[in-house]
Amino acid sequence: MIHTDVVIVGAGPCGLFQVFELGLLGLKAEVVDSIRQPGGQCAELYPDKPIYDIPAIPVCTGEELTAALLKQIEPFDAGMHLGQEVQVLRREDDETFFVETSKGTQFKTRAVVIAAGVGSFQPRPIRVPNAEDFEGKSLHYRVREPEQFRGKKLAILGGGDSALDWVLELADKAERITLVHRRDEYRGMPDSVAKMKQLVADGVMDEITSAKATAINGENGQATSVVIQPKEGDAVEVEVDHVLVFFGLAPKLGPIADWGLDINRKTINVDTEKFETSEPGIYAVGDINYYPGKKKLILCGFHEAALAAFAIKQRIEPDRKVHVQYTTTSPIMHERLGIED
């Protein structure tokens, strides 16, 4: 059981900045995210795309913003618990909270900040019989070790940037790649589509469009072939060692819906003084919250994180007034930031 001041649900930009604002006030945070990398939508949906409206940063990509936020929160040494979803959130008799993740990590915390964005990202699964038998062995929704595909026969399913990026990345490693897309047109970057088409023209890989996989054959989790059904004509069977599926990520509100909070469609109602939910001690910042005038912008989430941090400090230390101090001049903040005066 990890004891902490605050558990932050979600390591998107707002969850990461929440660590910073809490840290400045001397509060320790633990961050949990269901995906394996920090950065939320910025890292998962648009790592290479430019963002132009972060104050004082004329332009940065989603990945650069995430890296900068991680650098900024380094002094506060927050625990990062990635690849696990927060599933249980329960108030205890002593007004602390019990939090538990899908991997069984448990926390006892004095406050909770939900920075869960549009929900917890889950890869959209392939719908074929017995898919779960192959999952993690020869059916993959993510590539963790590209080397495992060296010299292998791969079916890559999907028509977006992820599918195309991995086709291009693995083309010279794999023995053979068959790209299967349910439409004729690709959603990915035109440049990637052109490069993939060139590989097909050069005879390096195969492409099947307007078709979908209807079955995976194999034994003991090891795929041996995929059955591809075109929109018109007969099904074909393609020999494979691995099937890589990139049908995109679907955010799901998931367990948050069961925590007894005042939910407004897929968002959580908060006040605009503390960004507290209907449950005292549980706060919500970033895309997940709702209040009149709410805008789903990163800079708005940063402001919300600052005010939530002050509110949490006041809740934890009700007898002391929480003063605003400037990072420029405050010795205590310099100490917390690890800066020598």
- Residue 32 vs 157, nearer CB to ligand FAD: 32
How far apart are CB 100 and ligand FAD at their closest, in Å? 11
Instruction: Give every CB contact of residue 75 below 8 A, 6+ residues apart in sequence.
Output: 23, 336, 337, 338
Closest separation in Å from C-beta 224 to ligand FAD: 34
Of 6, 7, 10, 154, the one binding ligand FAD (CB under 6 A) is 10
Of the candidate residues 5, 45, 168, 294, the single one contacting ligand FAD (CB under 6 A)? 45
Sign of CA dihedral 193, 194, 200, 203: negative
Cα angle for residues 103, 107, 110 (degrees, 5° grid): 150
Kindly state whether residue 51 participates in binding ligand FAD, applying the rule CB under 6 A. Answer: yes
Please give the Cα distance from 141 to 216 (Å, whole number). Answer: 15
80 binds ligand FAD (CB under 6 A): no
Query: How far from the centroid of its chain's Cα atoms is residue 157's Cα?
Result: 21
The CB-nearest residue to ligand FAD is 117
In the bound state with ligand FAD, the residue whose beta carbon lies nearer, of 185 and 258, is 258
Select the residue interacting with ligand FAD from 20, 76, 121, 310 (CB under 6 A): 121
Residue 6 within binding range of ligand FAD, rule CB under 6 A? no
Task: Find the radius of gyration of the CA atoms of the chain.
Answer: 23
C-beta of 128 vs 261, nearer to ligand FAD: 261
Q: Least distance in Å: CB of 37 to ligand FAD?
A: 8
Give the sign of the dihedral formed by CA 63, CA 300, CA 276, CA 69: positive
| Binders in 217-256 for ligand FAD, by CB under 6 A | 254-256
**Contact call for residues 171 and 163 (beta carbons, < 8 A):** no
String marking each residue 265-304 x if it binds ligand FAD according to CB under 6 A: ---------------------xxx-------xxxx-x---
Please, are residues 7 and 29 in contact by the beta-carbon 8 Å criterion?
yes
Per the rule left: phi > 0, alpha: psi between -120 and 50, beta: everything else, 187 is alpha
Q: For residue 151, give the nearest of 128, 169, 172, 136 by alpha carbon.
A: 172
Contact residue for ligand FAD among 22, 25, 116, 164 (CB under 6 A)? 116
Count Cα neighbours of 226 within 13 Å in the Cβ-side half-sphere: 30
The stretch among 4-12, 148-156, 307-315, 329-337 that binds ligand FAD (CB under 6 A) is 4-12
* CA angle, 274 then 276 then 277, to 5°: 160
SS3 9: strand
State the nearest-atom distance from the C-beta of 197 to ligand FAD, in Å.
Answer: 25
Q: Which of 225, 313, 247, 242 is nearest to 274 (CA)?
A: 313
Q: Does 195 bind ligand FAD (CB under 6 A)?
A: no
CB of 306 to ligand FAD, least distance (A): 14
The answer to whether 40 contacts ligand FAD (rule: CB under 6 A) is yes
Q: Which of 13, 23, 159, 188 binds ligand FAD (CB under 6 A)?
A: 13
Residues that bind ligand FAD (CB under 6 A): 9-15, 32-35, 40-42, 45-46, 51, 53, 85-86, 115-121, 254-256, 286-288, 296-299, 301
